[in-house]
Amino acid sequence: MASVENEAFLQALLLETEEDEAEEQLEELALALGATLLYGAEESRRLRSERRRERRLYLVRRDLLPNPRAATPWQKLYAGENNRAYITTMAVDVPTFQFILKQGFEEQWNTTPIPRNDVSPTADPTPYRRSLDAAGALGLILHY
């Protein structure tokens, strides 16, 4: 009688162990499936964002300088007075740039109002309110 009870107990224990293993396998599969779905969703989002970025023809806030009036690339280039940099960006060297600036461009820039419909052509110029000084305007003109 004891052996029958032992055998029944062992079978129940074996069945319980098999059920536990099956549950563990099922949990592992569910976790793997969840991880796969999460990875797929993240990868899909990344690819969609990448494709959108390729088609985007405009700047977003993170593309812009934190303070557009300080430490701009132009200011670094102008202050560096590197002939190679000047020639590459504006096709003139530093002495030529300074020559053009001092031979009338700076005076003309600072004494002529920018033509606008809401400002009289005879109004006094306000160079201190402009985004570009004379050197910046000349650099922009020569660059393009």
CA distances from 105 to 43, 87, 101, 112 (A): 54, 19, 5, 10
80-139 pLDDT, tens per residue?
999 999 999 999 999 999 999 999 999 998 888 777 788 777 777 776 677 788 999 999
Give residue-wise pLDDT tens across range 4-62: 677 777 777 777 888 888 889 999 999 999 999 999 999 999 999 888 877 777 777 88
pTM of structure: 0.53
Residue 45, amino acid: R
Q: How many residues belong to the chain?
A: 144
79-104 exposure pattern, b = at least 16 Cβ within 10 A, e = fewer: eeeeeeebeeebebbbeebbebbeee
Q: Judge contact between 121 and 113, C-beta under 8 A.
A: yes
pLDDT confidence of residue 31: 92
